[in-house]
Amino acid sequence: MTDNTNINKINSYENTRRKEEMKHQVITFVLMIAFTLIAFLVVAAELSRTFVIPFILLLAVVQVGFQFYYFMHMKDKGHEIISSLIFGGIWIAAVTVLTFTTIIWW
Amino acid sequence: MSLASTQKKSFGAVLWDYLTTVDHKKLGNMYIVAGAFFFILGGIEALVIRIQLMKPENDFISAGLYNEMITMHGTTMIFFAAMPILLGLMNAIMPLQIGARDVAFPFLNSLGFWLFLFGGIMLNLSWFLGGAPDAGWTAYTPLSTQSPGHGVDFYVMGLQLSGAGTLIGGINFLVTIVTMRGPGMTYMRMPLFTWTTFIASILILFAFPALTVGLFLLMFDRMFGSAFFDVALGGNSIIWQHLFWIFGHPEVYILILPAFGIFSEIFPVFSKKRLFGYSSMVFATFMIAFLGFMVWAHHMLTVGLGPVANSIFAVATMAIAVPTGIKIFNWLATMWGGSIRINSAMLWSLAFIPSFTIGGMTGVMLATATADYQYHDTYFVIGHFHYVIVGGTLFGILAGLHYWWPKLFGKVLHEGMGKIAFWIFFIGFHLTFFVQHFLGLMGMPRRYWVFLENQGLDTGNLVSTIGAFLMTIGTIIFIINIVYTSIKGEKASADPWGTGRTLEWAVSSPPPEYNFKKLPLVRGLDAYWIEKMDGNDKMTPAEPLVDIHMPNGSILPVTMTIGFFIASFGFIYQVDNKSWLALVFIGFAIALGSMLIRSLKDDHGYHIHKEDLEREAD
Amino acid sequence: MSQDHSLNLKNSHEDPAKATMEGKNKFLGLWFFLGGETVLFASFFATYLSLRESTAGGPTSQELFGLELVFIMTVLLLTSSLTSVYAIYHMKNNNFKKMQLWFGITALLGIAFLACEIYEFAHYIIEYEFTFRSSAFGSAFYTLVGFHGGHVVFGLSWLISLMVRNAKRGLSLYNAPKYNTFAIYWHFIDVVWVFIFTVVYLMGMVS
Amino acid sequence: MSRWMGKLKVFVLLSFAALVLSACGKENLTALDPKGYGAQDAMNIMVLSIIVMVSVFIIVMLIYTIVLIRFRQKKGQEDYIPKQVEGNHTLEIVWTAIPILLVLVLAVPTVISVFDLADTTEASSSVNVEVTGNQYWWHFNYEGEEIQTSQDLYIPVNQKVYLDIQSSDVIHSFWVPTISGKIDANPENVNTMFIEAYEEGVYWGKCAELCGPSHSLMDFKVVVVSQEEFDAWVEDMKNVDAEEVPQDAVAQEGKELFEANNCMACHAIGSSPVATGPNLTNYANRTSIAGILEPSKENMVEWLMDPESIKPGNKMTGNYPSLSEDEASSIAEYLMQLDHSETTPDSAGN
Ligand code: HEA
Ligand code: HEA
Ligand SMILES: [Cu+2]
């Protein structure tokens, strides 16, 4: 029996932790929608190109960070190998995109 | 699936067993056998090339056929011979080395194998269906988009299939190494072959998607009229070159790193000394992999990317000499002070050091961009990469085969024949490829169907051809050795070399299907050696004898693959007649149907019971 | 290795998706796969970026794209990401019914997204005669966005077959990892979309 | 032991044999005897890198040989267990640092010369030639001069000549080993590089990027002449009269056949920009027929009768009515009389 109460305790602790986490995720979501909105508004406002493009790219990167770290839990424990591999992929992705946007057009 | 099925099984049963197996050791052997088959095909193609180039203006084969030969030789050797044999060794050995009972995804493992095999069959069917691809293994656009007939289509679909298989294999190995390491097997206690498997798998994971995309674009351009490489519609043919080499350069390290791993196993065992600088070896492997992704444009130095790009890529390329050098010197230091025994496995490994060093050094010479304007697309490059690929990867494969043969097939290869085969092959190898460096500098570009008379290229080419024949003889002796051994060879003990250091030598040869009756407790690097030094003849078990959970065999990987195989034909031939699209639908129906069955039908595997295990002899 | 797959979830405080070796393997395997997918999509993006001005006289991105539809699509997909988070939340609380419900909503949102995309493509083809074969830009556009769409289709089929298959069985340590891997995959699709709407649509409209 | 010595001997012999071979590469084809700016630059780097490589190789082989001589298991040592050495930091640092230094030694001159060779700032004050690679021949258009030629590129000695290189179909690569390294001819962009020859002569050029069945037959020549001869050649070529009446009746008949068979649709004589096929101006002075055959009438006839057997996959095959031997011979006669310039490949020979 003692076993069970223990688990129950843990469970209730876990439950509150999960609720807490869920709250974070809803906030994340609201932020993402807000970011999206800002990005669209900036483009709709037809501001100068040199400002808009880096700005919306930055918003995208932050949004993706939210996705990875909150929705996909990359911030949690047990994700060390995963995040090093994902960052590996991102690094190669970045190098690829960089070359294609620079040296493919002479 | 029963244990100890000593009674003879019917042919049908054996075949069914191989079609449905998910056992990593069987799959490993199947990879090796299929890879060897493709190696012989690629080798025969190489011979045809060398015969054609035996004398100036030879007309042994036609120009078109020559281009098909080189394309098929390169593609077959890289994708269907060297890589599968390495994957086979990884499959068979790596789980044993980390003390695992299987890989993480036995089902996917089998799927990966079948995709590779059918990809290879697909590619080679092109010989019989109107002509093989003829745009080089690099399939540069727009030559490849304009190539008439279906040859290049077979190249695209064949590589797409096998590429998917390889990707699956890579992910499987990664997960296996992360989660399935046995008790006590920390990362820094993993044998080097496991490490190189791990890192080569990372390379596979990140390199193959670029090829996948490139092949898709090529497929769309050739089969569905898109305009990626069609200059008239704004396309750009350089995109293909980038995508191909973003894949292609890491690919050459996918070929060499596992071979490095094999040598790192063999040198310690036959020097009776632990690997010198273990952690720097791991680090160097990571460095090679990391840098390997940032140098691909060294294949494109003459494309006209501009001096900035050329300089960056040239210098980055040269940097790879540093970690590779660390490895070479660590191997030498491993042997220094050791007690070296030379047998066939060791001969191949020893021959690797000078051969690969030459190849690596010509690689660094190629990286000096200014000089590469001369070397590029000449026989100098052919010389370079055969030195690293044959002298590195192929020597590694042969060393690994001799070394692990007893573990894979239960018998030790014949030493005498092994040595004769080695010497003939080794001499032939240097004869063939050493002169090619000079041929290149004397003005012989690669992919030349004929070279003209009176250009001073005759002697060199003849020498090269003679060497190729010596390599053939060497290979044939090796094959005879295999046949002889499997008939006459003696059964091998668990540790036939006597100085085995890693876990695979702690289980019988060949190992039982569950690998370890009780998972062993690993107490350090070279786990088995440690036990031996402590006077134990066995590993200490980490668990009591319990039921062993085993995955079920399945025919679905084969049916899935056949589905994709059929669909590929549909894609290829719908260009001629839209009704071939039916095959696409049929093929996908079969493949998706198999997937559906797989996901709907629960597969919990089965257990080998404790009682049965107890009855088994050790 | 796990011995019993019908293990009662109630007594476990571990994440049911990662409680078994199979579960852990699936989880890692999918993540690693996503690492590869990153490079896959990067290659498509890179190709698109180098060809986006190669319109060969055909319609340009400024002429084609509109903000409204893309915004709707973005909200649909983002929301579906959130609903799948809810579903996983309920999975961890071992509430199968609610989990199925939220996944159901996720699927509906996904289908709505797909419908918008099909409408969009049809619109370009019919109104502008802008196809896959019009120009290198056309090829690159449809390929990049289409591959993302293909991922959505695949994800939906996966989800629906999971939901149907397990509708009567409830949650177990055997199927929890499957739902969990699906959810991660689904988020990744959203990640890709964030870049698509930024790089393709928004950047395509900035002149 | 003896086996290893044997191996070494074979190896030394082989390298020696190869070195002897290398000395006798064909003049004006080999990259080992550079006579131009780019080739010389490349040669300098090659020599430097060979020095580095040979020293590294000697060190590796030295350790290797010592290891194999000293540390073989001797009889009675079967049970001997050597000391299990983990590693040695000093050693590891040494063999990391030295290669880094060596790489730097190579990298610096490489980068310098890469930028030097890419420098095209002087292009406007020099000879500029538009080079087009075609399956399987090369076209040259002297910018600003209204001169079009094919297959033989005339340039003045000791002067940088700027080439704007492009392809009309698949990728080719322009390579004249003795004068300079190669650069690709891409279909979608122009690559610019310069060549400068230090000696007069006729140099072999090769296509270095697989471009189809006759890739190996896509040879061309660079004819390097003195500045005066080059100027004379330019003058001659600017004043070509395509209507010029041939000297004898056979050639006259050849000319008529040439026109009747619509050869002009692809081949121009004079500075007309038609470039579906090689420009035939000054044909009599060509160094070769179709880039590979000796320039003789028999070969010309053979080519005209069946180009496919000489250059598989070429674009001429099947694009004109088949010719009888007599007809081909007349056309050959006509073409072999197209002697528009005093400056010939022989001028480069002196
Ligand atoms: C197993 C395969 C393999 C391996 C391991 C390598 C290794 C290397 N390769 Fe190679 N390469 C190929 C396979 C391989 N290559 C293939 C197949 C092609 C042609 C593809 C095609 O076009 O069809 C090619 C082409 C190729 C090119 C393009 C040539 C051209 O087309 O113009 C270049 C250019 O830089 C290059 C460079 C290198 C370098 C620098 C290394 C380095 O990794 C080598 C490092 C090793 C050493 C240097 C030796 C040991 C080091 C020491 C002893 C330390 C001290 C040394 C120094 C300081 C120099 N390779
Ligand atoms: C793993 C890779 C690999 C391997 C192992 C080899 C092995 C060999 N290669 Fe190859 N090669 C490539 C990869 C490889 N090659 C690539 C990528 C290209 C570039 C292609 C391109 O340009 O697109 C190339 C190109 C290439 C060329 C240049 C062609 C050209 O540019 O025109 C040449 C020429 O000599 C050549 C020769 C050889 C030879 C003689 C061998 C030998 O080592 C082979 C030895 C093996 C055998 C000889 C087999 C023995 C046969 C039997 C035992 C069967 C006996 C039975 C019967 C006869 C029935 N190869
Ligand atoms: Cu490379």
CATH number at residue D318: 2.60.40.420
Q: Assign residue B274 a region (left: φ > 0; alpha: ψ between -120 and 50; beta: otherwise).
A: beta
Reference B137, options B204, B214, B213; nearest CA is: B214
Round to whole Å and give the CA distance between C55 and B235. 9
The arithmetic mean of pLDDT across residues A74-80, rounded, is: 80
* D176 and D308 Cβ atoms separated by less than 8 Å: no
Identify which has the larger pLDDT, D270 or A55: A55
Beta bridge partners of D134: D137
Q: What are the tokens at C53? A: 């001005």
How far, in Å, are B3, B204, D20 from residue B169 at the CA level? 27, 9, 48
The arithmetic mean of pLDDT across residues B388-399, rounded, is: 97
pLDDT tens digits for D42-69?
Answer: 999 999 999 999 999 999 999 999 999 9
Q: Residue B2 has what pLDDT?
A: 42
Lowest mean pLDDT among B163-177, B187-201, B595-609, C6-20: C6-20
Identify which has the larger pLDDT, D342 or D96: D96
Q: Residue D109 has what pLDDT?
A: 96
Report chain B's mean pLDDT, rounded to a whole number.
94
The arithmetic mean of pLDDT across residues B123-140, rounded, is: 95
* A24 and A70 Cβ atoms separated by less than 8 Å: yes
| Distance (Å) from CA B247 to ligand 3 centroid | 10
Lowest mean pLDDT among B466-470, C8-12, D240-244, D303-307: C8-12
The 3-state secondary structure of chain C reads CCCCCCCCHHHCCCCHHHCCHHHHHHHHHHHHHHHHHHHHHHHHHHHHHHHCCCCCCCCCHHHHCCHHHHHHHHHHHHHHHHHHHHHHHHHHCCCHHHHHHHHHHHHHHHHHHHHHHHHHHHHHHHHHCCCCCCCHHHHHHHHHHHHHHHHHHHHHHHHHHHHHHHCCCCCCCCCHHHHHHHHHHHHHHHHHHHHHHHHHHHHHHCC
Highest mean predicted confidence (pLDDT) among A50-59, B123-132, B607-616, D140-149: B123-132
Q: Residue D240 has what pLDDT?
A: 83
- At D107, the pLDDT band (50, 70, 90 cuts) reads very high
The arithmetic mean of pLDDT across residues C98-115, rounded, is: 96
* Look-up of token digits 């998910």: B22
So where are chain A's domains? 2-75, 77-106
Identify which has the larger pLDDT, D5 or B74: B74
Residue A99, min C-alpha distance to chain B (Å): 9
Report chain A's mean pLDDT, rounded to a whole number.
82
Q: In chain A, what residues touch B242 (CB-CB under 8 Å)?
A: 96, 99-100, 104
For ligand 2, say whether the CB of B82 is within 6 Å of any of its atoms. yes
The arithmetic mean of pLDDT across residues D73-80, rounded, is: 85
DSSP calls for B457-516: -HHHHHHHHHHHHHHHHHHHHHHHHHHHHHHHPPBP-SSTTS---SGGGGS-SSPPTTS-
Residue closest by Cα to atom 54 of ligand 2: B40
Asked whether residue C14 carries a pLDDT value surpassing 80, the answer given is no
* B552 and B606 Cβ atoms separated by less than 8 Å: yes
User: Which residues fall within 8 angstroms of residue D172, CB to CB, at 6 or more apart?
Assistant: D133, D134, D184, D185, D207, D208, D209, D211, D218
pLDDT tens digits for C40-73?
Answer: 999 999 999 999 989 888 888 888 998 899 999 9
Other Cβ atoms less than 10 A from the Cβ of D119: the count is 11
Q: Residue D15 has what pLDDT?
A: 64
Angle at B259 between CA B254 and CA B261, to 5 degrees: 100
CATH class of the domain whose range is C66-206: mainly alpha
- Tell how far CA B295 is from the center of its chain: 21
Report chain C's mean pLDDT, rounded to a whole number.
89
Q: Which ligand 2 atom sits closest to the C-alpha of B436?
A: 35
Q: What 3-state class would DSSP assign to B548?
A: strand
Contact B279 D212 (CB under 8 A): no
Lowest mean pLDDT among B75-84, B382-391, D263-272: D263-272
pLDDT tens digits for B247-296?
Answer: 999 999 999 999 999 999 999 999 999 999 999 999 999 999 999 999 99
Round to whole Å and give the CA distance between C102 and A27. 18
Question: Using CB atoms, which residue from B280, B441, B445 is nearest to D22?
Answer: B441
- At C6, the pLDDT band (50, 70, 90 cuts) reads very low
- At C2, the pLDDT band (50, 70, 90 cuts) reads very low
Q: What are the tokens at B206? A: 């990140």
The arithmetic mean of pLDDT across residues B522-546, rounded, is: 90
A–C CB contacts, 8 A cutoff, strictly below: 127
The beta-carbon contacts of D316-324 under 8 Å, at least 24 apart in sequence, are: D316/D266, D316/D277, D319/D266, D320/D261, D320/D262, D320/D263, D321/D261, D323/D257, D323/D261
* B258 and B169 Cβ atoms separated by less than 8 Å: no
For ligand 1, say whether the CB of B350 is within 6 Å of any of its atoms. no
- At B5, the pLDDT band (50, 70, 90 cuts) reads very low
The number of CA neighbours under 13 Å toward the Cβ of D318 is: 7
Q: Residue B566 has what pLDDT?
A: 97
For ligand 1, say whether the CB of B385 is within 6 Å of any of its atoms. yes
Q: Residue D241 has what pLDDT?
A: 78
Write the DSSP symbol of residue D149.
E
Whole-model pTM: value is: 0.94
* D185 and D132 Cβ atoms separated by less than 8 Å: yes
Q: Is residue D285 part of a domain?
A: yes
pLDDT tens digits for B294-319?
Answer: 999 999 999 999 999 999 999 999 99
Write the DSSP symbol of residue B10.
P
Residue closest by Cα to atom 13 of ligand 2: B74
The arithmetic mean of pLDDT across residues B593-614, rounded, is: 86
Q: Which residue of A has its CA nearest to C45?
A: A97
Q: Residue C4 has what pLDDT?
A: 41
Q: In chain B, what residues touch C4 (CB-CB under 8 Å)?
A: none
User: Which residues fall within 8 angstroms of residue B186, CB to CB, at 6 or more apart?
Assistant: B522
| Cα dihedral: C161, C167, C169, C173 (round 10) | 60
Q: Which residue of B has its CA nearest to A89?
A: B206
Q: What are the tokens at A80? A: 């060390």
Lowest mean pLDDT among A65-69, B405-409, B505-509: A65-69
Q: Which residue of B has its CA nearest to C157?
A: B596
Q: What are the tokens at B461? A: 């080419």
- At B3, the pLDDT band (50, 70, 90 cuts) reads very low
**ipTM exceeding the 0.85 mark:** yes
Residue D201, min C-alpha distance to chain B (Å): 16
Identify which has the larger pLDDT, B3 or B292: B292
Stated as kind and residue range, the H or E segment containing B278 is helix B278-292
Round to whole Å and give the CA distance between B394 and B83. 10
B554-570 CB burial, b ≥16 within 10 A, e <16: bebbbbbbbbbbbbbbb
Contact B304 A96 (CB under 8 A): no
* Look-up of token digits 């569905």: B224
Lowest mean pLDDT among A56-60, B220-224, C143-147: A56-60
User: Which residues fall within 8 angstroms of residue B322, CB to CB, at 6 or more apart?
Assistant: B287, D96, D99, D100, D103
- At D201, the pLDDT band (50, 70, 90 cuts) reads very high
Lowest mean pLDDT among A18-22, B470-474, D146-150: A18-22
The arithmetic mean of pLDDT across residues D270-285, rounded, is: 86
Provide the domain count of chain D.
Answer: 1
So where are chain C's domains? 66-206
Round to whole Å and give the CA distance between B331 and B494. 26
User: Which residues fall within 8 angstroms of residue B180, CB to CB, at 6 or more apart?
Assistant: B95, B98, B100, B101, B102, B103, B104, C21, C25
Asked whether residue D343 carries a pLDDT value surpassing 90, the answer given is no
Q: Residue C5 has what pLDDT?
A: 40
Lowest mean pLDDT among A25-34, C146-155, D202-211, D218-227: A25-34
